[in-house]
Amino acid sequence: MTDAYETEEVLSQYLDFHFGPDEPFGVPNYPAACARLCLEAMADDDQRRRALDLGCAVGRTGMELANAFDAVDALDTSQAFIDAACSLRDQGTLDYSIVDEGDIRSARRADLGGLGLAEAARRVTFAVGDASRLAVPDDPYDLVFAGNLIDRLAKPADFLERLPQQLRPGGWLVLASPYTLRREYTAQEQWIGGYRSADGEPITVRQGLHEWLEPAFEMARDPVDQAFVIRETRRKFQHTIAEVTFWRRSASAMS
Ligand SMILES: C[S@@+](CC[C@H](N)C(=O)[O-])C[C@H]1O[C@@H](n2cnc3c(N)ncnc32)[C@H](O)[C@@H]1O
């Protein structure tokens, strides 16, 4: 299967999704909104040294977080996304084009200066990497954010089980996802929710998160819905509602 996240088409969609000027249907910029939600959750916690953005795509959430953190690491498996994020961080601008109709395209420019992100972006270290194979950091993170990632992983439960070792006790885990379960990414036997139990009860992904994250984490505030829109063409948009959940690493969690 071609990796969609390496294609020019999806790269330009994501550059526009993260850095484009439009707010289709009045829906605010999603990667920026996710960073805001993380920071709101952490409002009473002044430990903001290191953050980790997993499945960072072309990097907007990591750059926004770098406005509040000393350093941000941002990982994605897509070489094309990470190359674009690095180029934008280093040059301050990046030209791309979006599809209007067929081969008719419009030129666009991502401009970090105009978004107030040029300086913060320099505090983000982007790398190609697999969120399912994270090394245990010498210096644990204060925040781990994974936006629209858990439903793209082959083994989401393994991923969730390894997260405590990334965070300091009291550190924050913020997961955003529309729970779009697709068998080409996650074999059905690996789903943590989105199915009925043997006695017919619906088991949701949110329930699966509780099952796999607790007691190493506790849910720290009520989940919120966050809409996003990805523009495919001038006349076709994906309008989706992600759920954002907020977790704190328990002081007693085993690493
Ligand atoms: C649906 S996109 C979401 C991207 C971004 N967080 C956002 O909300 O715009 C999923 C991203 O996860 C990346 N990805 C998929 N599997 C991954 C893995 N195992 N480790 C790290 N990144 C992964 C993809 O390359 C893609 O950039």
DSSP 114-157: GGT-HHHHTTEEEEE--GGGPPPPSS-EEEEEEES-GGG-S-HH
Residue 1 has pLDDT above 60, yes or no: no
Residue 230 has pLDDT above 90, yes or no: yes
**pLDDT tens digits for range 101-110:** 999 999 999 9
In a domain, 147, yes or no: yes
Q: Which CA distances in Å does 65 have to 47, 117, 179, 242?
A: 13, 10, 24, 19
**Per the structure, how many domains does the chain have?**
1
Residue 249 has pLDDT above 50, yes or no: yes
Residues 194, 204 contacting (CB under 8 angstroms): yes
- Considering only CA atoms, which residue is closest to atom 7 of ligand 1? 147
In a domain, 67, yes or no: yes
- Considering only CA atoms, which residue is closest to atom 14 of ligand 1? 55
What spacing in Å lies between the alpha carbon of 58 and ligand 1's midpoint?
Answer: 10
Is residue 251 very low, low, confident or very high in pLDDT (cuts 50, 70, 90)? confident
Ligand 1 binding pocket, CB closer than 6 Å: 5, 17, 31, 54-57, 75-78, 81, 130-132, 147-149, 152-153
- Considering only CA atoms, which residue is closest to atom 2 of ligand 1? 148
Does pTM surpass 0.85?
A: yes
**pLDDT tens digits for range 163-214:** 999 999 999 999 999 999 999 999 999 999 999 999 999 999 999 999 999 9
**pLDDT tens digits for range 51-83:** 999 999 999 999 999 999 999 999 999 999 999
CA distance 210 to 105: 44
In a domain, 255, yes or no: no
In a domain, 254, yes or no: no
What spacing in Å lies between the alpha carbon of 76 and ligand 1's midpoint?
Answer: 6
- Considering only CA atoms, which residue is closest to atom 25 of ligand 1? 78
Q: Domain of 242: which CATH number?
A: 3.40.50.150
Nearest atom in ligand 1 to 3's CA: 25
Residue 161 makes CB contacts below 8 A (sequence gap 6+) with 212
- Considering only CA atoms, which residue is closest to atom 13 of ligand 1? 55
In a domain, 54, yes or no: yes
Nearest atom in ligand 1 to 159's CA: 19
| Best residue among 152, 155, 190 to mutate for probing ligand 1, ranked by most atoms within 8 Å of CB | 152
- Considering only CA atoms, which residue is closest to atom 15 of ligand 1? 152
CA distance 184 to 154: 9
In a domain, 224, yes or no: yes
In a domain, 215, yes or no: yes
Residue 13 makes CB contacts below 8 A (sequence gap 6+) with 98, 230, 231, 232
Full residue range of the structural domain in which residue 55 is found: 4-249
What spacing in Å lies between the alpha carbon of 199 and ligand 1's midpoint?
Answer: 34
| Best residue among 76, 144, 243, 244 to mutate for probing ligand 1, ranked by most atoms within 8 Å of CB | 76
In a domain, 32, yes or no: yes
Residue 194 CB coordination number (10 Å): 17
**What's the pLDDT at 49?**
98
DSSP 192-215: SSSEE-TTS-EE-HHHHHHHHHTT
**pLDDT tens digits for range 29-59:** 999 999 999 999 999 999 999 999 999 999 9
